[in-house]
Structure 1
């Protein structure tokens, strides 16, 4: 038998340690759910304190403030007559757990600790929490006195239990448990649990959404029932962007979907049948093999009456964003959260006229476009936030170009080595997106610094083109790059002051993931910034993204940027044209670098295993000797420059192809750059594959 039940899930823009703000957003979501008839409200993982607290989870203050917020939730009239499911850390028997606290009418029904923790990639849950390793076991948890005073309860159930209401049965999963091969929902489904909830802090990665949707559909596709998914949304205070996608599935079909990228909180109330499918004749045999779930009886009904009712549900077709759309939307939402929460007045970008900085500029423009759309759709929160950022209580953004002019300053920093082509490309793009654009020349600052060096040493370095050594050439390039960083921060701090406007600007970086992995940038140059929206995105994806922006936003400056060879423009021009390109400097093309980089990061390849893979991947275009040379060159660059990763600008985490050693890529930064044994194994393999006469005279270690 099944009944019509109304349940609500949500995606909330929680912020680590913003207890008052998080409380407000939780209460607002409960209020919206109640107004729309919901009898159960599900929130994202750790929504009381925020998921990204990191080592603040060690602090007793964090636990204290969570219970203070829980007390206010219990006492609030908004939370009455609806089962509320919130997340917070809880200490039980001196062990810290990541928990769901489920309560109704000032009574805590169950505290459900997370059983399967996330410990890969950016996740460090084992650092702060312990898994609940007692399946089907429930203990008594002694409540703090402040909570006892509200609930009248001294202890409450704590452990792996489910709620048995008068009309259905509800079980919980928490985030990573859905992704585990032995998810709790499997046993719960076999034991007759009809509604399974999942409170998540699942962050955005390119090409990831379909995996999440397919897992949720399959969770009820086999044993039936309802699956509710809630998620964190927005920037929690770190490199990650949580992309919402709150949804509800019934019997293998998605029946309700929240936006993946949105500037507003999302609450999804849905009326669904609590009945499971009827075409599983072997379920009873399978159920007998499992220990039954511990059921906490709840004198409450999720349905409005006890009449049997089987409403039909209408499946919806999930629209997945293209990679280009994801780049346009995800980093833009992340930038907006960072800007409005930082208290700054906008962004500053050194705009070179190349693909990388132009991609960053287009992401800012996309942010402005999303803000204008949200305001047009009636979002009072977004309107309030944008008025606060621009410092005008009556301002209403209508056009993204006009808003871009208020929030975004771009700067082309020319030198004697800069070409007119790049200057024009930067100027044209700035005009089309509406940014406040500055043209300046850095030669005077560079000459002043070199003058100091010459005064002290009596020597003046020269570019290689003018007879200088490799050391001189590199030092002269680095001086230009670092001067640009200094000027970027100077203008970020004082350009609004010079205009008589309040506030400062956040400096944006624009180093892509491929260049970062090889260290093809100057330490503390203009790649050093406050945040970097493209630091986790490959050059290949950025090129596709710029083409998308050219089509969607009608930015006619972008085709010429895409057609131009990438260059740092740090060496002297030849007859007015660039003499330096990124690919010649790196010793490989961006296409080759992208393949090598993904093998290094995603496939976890060292030198030898990478060589073994590439001789098959590139067998039509490269000989084994050529492959060996490219692999060795990459690993020399990678290891020599690995120290630069420690100073990288915090970047938007777009996918597992990330060089960020501060959070994601936990490898050393001091290497034996000779790779003796590794390269020797490659040489031995090549010698077996190449004829002896081709090997004669080859210096495989050159």
Structure 2
């Protein structure tokens, strides 16, 4: 048998954090050498970080990456390692993977297909490398091959598909297959979204089968640069068989996923297929592989991935890790959440607690405190409960319009999670502002004439106290708006939108309420439930900004959340017209909502979406979780000023008046 031990190395990097990025890479390499690994694949752009944005243009970024590369090369004795970095050639910047073998740089493979959709904007900074092109790249006194390269390392042919290269129909693996490639390395920076790991597995497994190779896939980990979350997906397949996959959403700085591959099996697979051989012109590298004993590779889903609640689990683990990374990378001392007792602020508080609990479970108490060693307040903590009190601050700010139910909901959750909790009455502040304005304009404000203004001042008055607590503690204030509210502007600017980061702005309210019930009754991993959510889960969502006798309910102010989510999906994600939305809603909600309700809701949605783009432009950065994101700076662009879908709405109303199911009801107009 001809066996080689290989690995995918996952690292948690930060853009332009040169020393910590380099140390993570070096530590990962040293661990690989301890495990007798011969070939190690590290992620795309792992030296600089993937999210450097326009700093990729800076000459200093490319220069510092090369400096780090030369330091990393010194640690690669007896191992072949690929690391990702940007390379500048003739004033063009390329996304490259450098192969280092036994302390010597052997060449640079460049990315051919650039990601330029959704949160990716690679064509802004990088150039596509032309298929088949090769040249040389000079570093100091030495020149190295660069471009569309195949390497032959100790008789083993190694090629590259860099991230997006593998996601296109004409992926480079086909050409590598024709050249007799043995191993394809895929250094990647593939952002998290729900169920995306399943697509990646198909790409890896199918690529290994179709090209008759061993395929090594290594992704980045953590909240790297603010919005994107990387789940640390790592996997190795061989000739159509998935050998291993790594853990996801780890709190470690780096880790390895290793397997032993059988070159004889790979080459047998290729020999049994008819191919038109092409000369490889591979870069030749001398290298001796150590003798490896056979091992049983063990591919299995993680326990939480196999329990039937993958989306619920992924949401909890992704956002919790993102919150933890954002906390430590911003060197903040904790989180502050204005806990209203409603679903949004309760979910965020629970996610902060889960971040603490999962990090302690993986790293241990001492490892957790070492990871956040700059926070003096946690160094004497001896439990998750004590850490929760030190890191999570909740504040309930009631007015005369707040109910005992929401106060009980907030109090019970804070008590269950042992957070630091403050309950203050802000009614006097609201009355002070009202009095000042009433005196200035010469009349009293009333609910009959000033409903929206009186609602907003209550929400807005809550912001200064929350910010004050955050400033006192050098903590992160977390904004509590969700995606459903963002789509229709059902939020008070400088009120509930206040914060440094908006953790749940990428998720809809309808599903979030389902997740909270799941977290209470089923729980993370099927074992950990948060029972303190019970009171909140039994409440109707309400802003509690009107007098209590008004019995304000969010879904009456807007529309039912399940309907809002369905309209948003059709209108925004799928770009359907109001008329098409009506047809789709009639199909989805037949027998649930009346046709008049559907028409009214669709018109309301389109008008509010267009009117409130300026709010979405001002929201705190949000975490990306799926293809329904509304963040205008990373996913969905829409004009701040527009025609407001006026023509399209009129066409829908005309269609509604001239068609319909069952009994006609007369002309519809709004």
TM-score bracket, normalised by the shorter chain, equals over 0.9
Give, in whole Å, the separation in 2 of the partners of 1:346 and 1:562.
26
Is 1:484 the counterpart of 2:479? The answer is no
1:248: Cα distance to partner? 1.1
Aligned-pair distance for 1:540? 2.8
TM-score (ref. length: structure 1): 0.90
Is the 8 Å Cα contact of residues 481 and 526 (structure 1) preserved in structure 2? yes
Distance 2:661 2:416 in 1: 58
* Match status 1:428 vs 2:412: yes
Residue 462 of structure 1 aligns to a residue whose secondary structure is: coil
Q: 1:218 is paired with a residue of what secondary structure?
A: helix
Matched residues in 1 for 2:15 and 2:91: separation?
Answer: 23
CA distance 1:177–1:396, shift in 2 (3 Å): farther
| Cα distance in 2, alignment partners of residues 391 and 241 from structure 1 | 27
Asked if the contact 1:11/1:231 (under 8 Å) is kept, the reply is yes
Change (3 A) 1:580 1:30: same
The question of 1:566 aligning with 2:555 is answered no
Provide the rounded CA distance (Å) in 1 between the counterparts of 2:267 and 2:297.
Answer: 15
Cross-structure match for 1:583: 555
1:144 aligns with 2:139: yes
Give the gaps of 5 or more residues in structure 1. 495-502
How big is the alpha-carbon RMSD for the aligned residues of Structure 1 and Structure 2?
2.1
Corresponding residue of 1:44: 43
**Residue 489 of structure 1: SS of its match in structure 2?**
helix
The CA deviation at 1:176 is 1.2
Aligned position for 1:506: 476
5+ long unaligned stretches in structure 2: none
Task: Specify the alignment match of 2:111 in structure 1.
Answer: 114
Q: Answer whether contact 1:601 1:658 (CA < 8 A) is retained.
A: no
Aligned match of 1:258: 246
Using the alignment, how far apart are the partners of 2:512 and 2:597 within structure 1?
28
Partner of 1:5: 4
* Mapping 1:139-218, distance limit 5 Å: 139-141=135-137, 143-145=138-140, 148=141, 153=142, 155-218=143-206
- Determine if the alignment matches structure 1 residue 283 to structure 2 residue 270: no
1:440 aligned residue:
424
CA shift in 2, pair 1:318/1:123, >3 Å: same
Map 1:603-682 onto structure 2 (within 5 A).
Answer: 603-622=574-593, 626-673=597-644, 675-682=645-652
Which range moves more in the overlay, 324-333 or 680-689?
680-689
Instruction: Give secondary structure in 2 for the equivalent of 1:323.
Output: helix
The Cα of 1:203 is off from its aligned counterpart by 1.3
| Cα contact 1:517–1:638 (8 A) shared by 2 | yes
Q: Which moved more, 1:44-53 or 1:92-101?
A: 92-101
Among 538, 557, 564, the residue aligned to 1:593: 564
Please tell me whether the aligned partners of residues 212 and 269 of structure 2 are also in contact (alpha carbons under 8 angstroms): no
Please say which of residues 265-274 and 411-420 is displaced more in the overlay. Answer: 265-274
Contact in 2 for aligned 1:229/1:246 (Cα 8 Å): yes
Whole-Å Cα distance in 2 between the matches of residues 310 and 33 of structure 1? 17
Aligned equivalents of 2:359 and 2:632: distance in 1? 33
Q: Give 1:581 shift.
A: 0.8
- Post-superposition shift, 1:310? 9.3
Q: Which moved more, 1:534-543 or 1:475-484?
A: 534-543
Kept after mapping to 2: 8 A contact 1:3/1:310? no
1:499 alignment partner in structure 2 = none
Q: Is the 8 A contact 2:459 2:495 kept in 1?
A: yes
Runs (4 or more) in structure 1 with deviation over 6 Å come to: none
More moved, 436-445 vs 245-254: 245-254
Give the C-alpha shift of residue 340 in structure 1: 1.2
Q: Judge conservation of contact 2:378–2:390 (CA < 8 Å) in 1.
A: no
Matched residue SS, 2:220: strand
Determine helix, strand or coil for the equivalent of 1:112: strand
Identify the match of residue 95 of structure 2 among 98, 112, 115.
98
CA distance in 2, matches of 1:8, 1:424: 51
Q: Give yes or no for contact 2:160–2:186 (8 Å, CA) kept in 1.
A: yes
The number of residues matched between the two structures is 658
CA contact (8 A) 1:195 1:226 kept: yes
List aligned pairs for 1:279-318, cutoff 5 A. Answer: 283-284=273-274, 286-288=275-277, 291-301=278-288, 303-305=289-291, 311=294, 313-318=296-301
